[in-house]
A and B are shown apart, each in its own frame.
Chain A
């Protein structure tokens, strides 16, 4: 048994209407997803300011995933379309600054996709675990 296996901290922003319900469904269906995924519920994926993503990294996240309704299914008609543009630009910029692009992701998960939620989280966790600790966007003052 490995004792000191690295467990990445993952922050998942989930929209209230689709992805959060999707996570609920995953739970109801007894589908596993890693316990190091911390879900933050937001009213809409579009609520997520680029600052939130950076703050999550600052406070010790090793990976940040943003889940929202599928394009076209937004509860507020168009929120996730804006998210898509914003995050495409933000993640592209992070990559440009040399931050590993595997640490960030946007995934569309509907309320009926409990299985997709669980699979996505498992896969993302493995992906981030392979990268190791987040060193490039860390804030030493926030380390414990």
Chain B
């Protein structure tokens, strides 16, 4: 459950709107249910009061929206969770938006719930999901009311939260903490320990479900190219209907490769995947390799850091020594 409440955020947003610091607020809009939230822009106190929402499903990473929104009239207010703040720095490093036009308020994060996991728990007909302390109360059509423990239904990225440090802000709404955890590579290590045949079978099983909706690409704060290699209508492989196993593999390899070294591991790709493909395992493999080959690197830790793939040293590891190193260790 979040320590930061909706009212706290609304108050802050109203205050900044009223004193003229910002003209717009980037936040989250209520949906029909507590779990279908949409990022939205608010321009007045009434709108905020009426439609602003913040609950255990408000996991969206706001940083990418700034690429388009920071160009508007006046400053825009954005609430940055630790994950968002790393993407924020990374986008600034790549000059994707103007820092002057953004007013960032850092907020503490205690993890978010994964609706897909909750959904799997019930047959169908979830009517409402409410957060109550450490519990999630789910009301369904057929099973009545049920209580779930919040900790069991967190997003994967929150379970293995890499850090609770807010890396960029103009103002902090809550305390900043230095808490870090180093469990995020465990699953990658498990995969590395398998034989190539097992790994191949594992990935075929995962990637064959891909429907090429491009949601992982669209949501990714590192994927901000105006023209994407995958948007080529002449390629003949733009959508699922004309794809085969090769294209599935290629899309995912190239997608992950294009963000290698710039991926902050915010986990949005896995969160939005409608087919439950663990895309973070691809990104984390690259992060793990970069850490072990070229030294620890966290994308977005500071503005202006040079990403590993646009950098080199004369003593870099040779590809033949690098391949398969993880599995031998």
Contacts of B260 in A (CB 8 A): 89
A88 & B323 in contact (Cβ 8 Å cutoff): yes
Known pairs A50-B257, A92-B325; A97 contacts B318 (CB<8 A): no
Known pairs A92-B324, A92-B325, A101-B324; A85 contacts B294 (CB<8 A): yes
Chain B residue at minimal CB-CB distance from A79:
B312
Known pairs A106-B318, A137-B249; A96 contacts B285 (CB<8 A): yes
Q: Contacts A92-B323, A140-B244 known; list 14 others, CB within 8 Å.
A: A54-B249, A82-B312, A84-B316, A85-B316, A87-B319, A90-B257, A91-B323, A92-B289, A92-B322, A93-B257, A97-B203, A101-B324, A139-B247, A141-B244
Listed by A's residue number, 15 A-B pairs whose Cβ atoms lie within 8 Å are: A81-B313, A81-B316, A88-B319, A89-B290, A89-B293, A92-B323, A95-B196, A96-B191, A96-B199, A96-B285, A97-B253, A98-B200, A100-B196, A139-B244, A141-B244
Distance from B128 Cβ to chain A, minimum over Cβ atoms (Å) = 41
B249 & A97 in contact (Cβ 8 Å cutoff): yes
Contact-size category for B: 35 or more
Q: How many A-B residue pairs have C-beta atoms within 8 angstroms? Tell me.
A: 118
Q: In the bound complex, what is the Cα–Cα distance between A90 and B202 (angstroms)?
A: 19
Partner of A85, one of B200, B309, B323: B309
A95 & B324 in contact (Cβ 8 Å cutoff): yes
B250 close to A (CB within 8 Å): yes
Closest 4 CB pairs of A and B: A98-B200, A81-B312, A88-B322, A98-B199
A86 close to B (CB within 8 Å): yes
B interface with A by C-beta (< 8 Å): 191-192, 196-204, 229, 244, 246-247, 249-250, 253-254, 256-257, 260, 282, 285-286, 289-290, 293-294, 308-314, 316-320, 322-327
Classify the interface of chain B: helix, strand, loop or mixed. helix
Classify the interface of chain A: helix, strand, loop or mixed. helix
Contacts of B201 in A (CB 8 A): 98
Partner of A96, one of B192, B204, B244, B312: B192
A27 close to B (CB within 8 Å): no
A85 & B257 in contact (Cβ 8 Å cutoff): no
A93 & B314 in contact (Cβ 8 Å cutoff): no
Q: In the bound complex, what is the Cα–Cα distance between A143 and B311 (angstroms)?
A: 39
